[in-house]
Chain A
Amino acid sequence: QSALTQPAFVSGSPGQSITIPCTGTSNDIGAYNSVSWYQQHPGKAPKLIIHNVNNRPSGVSNRFSGSKSGNTASLTISGLQAEDEADYYCTSYIGSSISWLFGGGTKLAVL
């Protein structure tokens, strides 16, 4: 299976909102509500920020939200802050085959 598709780069100004799309197929994102999003700062391990499409783990800012429509999932970050500058990855869990697909990653710049 191919990787999920994300834009390579997204930018926004402090206080603005941005949305990062993650496009898959009817066999992955379209078939399961097991989309997760991860934030990765340079030199650090990724961190879970959204799971099961739109659920935030305890301790994650409510400025992060997720959604899904058809074969595309999206991560929205509202009220952009400098600390949000990082790489973001989507993942879809393929339950029928116990496997995971990652998106190629999106670099977010807060200008």
Chain B
Amino acid sequence: QVSLVQSGGEVKKPGASVKVSCKASGYTFTTYGISWVRQAPGQGLEWMGWINPHNGNTKYAQNFQGRVTLTTDTSTSTAYMELMSLRSDDTAVYYCVKETYGKFDYWGQGTLVIVSS
């Protein structure tokens, strides 16, 4: 069965960076894209970016251009999301999501990132 298991919660200071991991299992990792979606407390879902694990091609949402980097390690079927220059409004739950032909069919459990001085 498909599973996406994310790394644990983080507390960071403003200006720092955070790197969240997402280990996939139960399917061929290089066949489907991985997107990252975040949700600030009490707010809606926001798409951040997408990566093709097969060739490393990426696409980032305009709001995150230059501040987020998506990578994958195909040897361990793990995807990574690094967000830099953190601000307090980056406090959110970050989800990795398996993308299949435009739909998000499997979600990780979420990783809470708190940005606070």
Contact = CB atoms under 8 A, between A and B. Distances in A.
B102 A34 contact: yes
A90 to B, nearest CB: 10
A34 B104 CA distance: 11
- Chain A interface size band reads 20 to 34
Contact of A48 (B37, B50, B61, B104): B104
Contacts of B95: 45-46
Given A97-B59, A100-B35, A48 B103 contact: yes
Interface stretch (B16-24, B40-48, B68-76, B77-85): B40-48
Interface in A67-103: 89, 91, 93, 95, 97-103
A51 B100 CA distance: 10
Nearest to A40: B45
Contact of A98 (B45, B50, B110): B50
A102 B59 contact: no
A36 to B, nearest CB: 5
Contacts, number: 58
Nearest to B108: A45
B44 A91 contact: no
Contact of B102 (A40, A57, A89, A93): A93
Nearest to A34: B102
A100 to B, nearest CB: 4
21 contacts: A3-B44, A34-B102, A36-B102, A38-B45, A40-B45, A45-B95, A45-B108, A45-B109, A46-B107, A48-B105, A51-B102, A52-B102, A52-B103, A89-B45, A91-B45, A91-B47, A95-B102, A98-B50, A100-B50, A102-B37, A102-B45
Interface of A: 3, 32, 34, 36, 38, 40, 45-48, 51-52, 57, 89, 91, 93, 95, 97-105
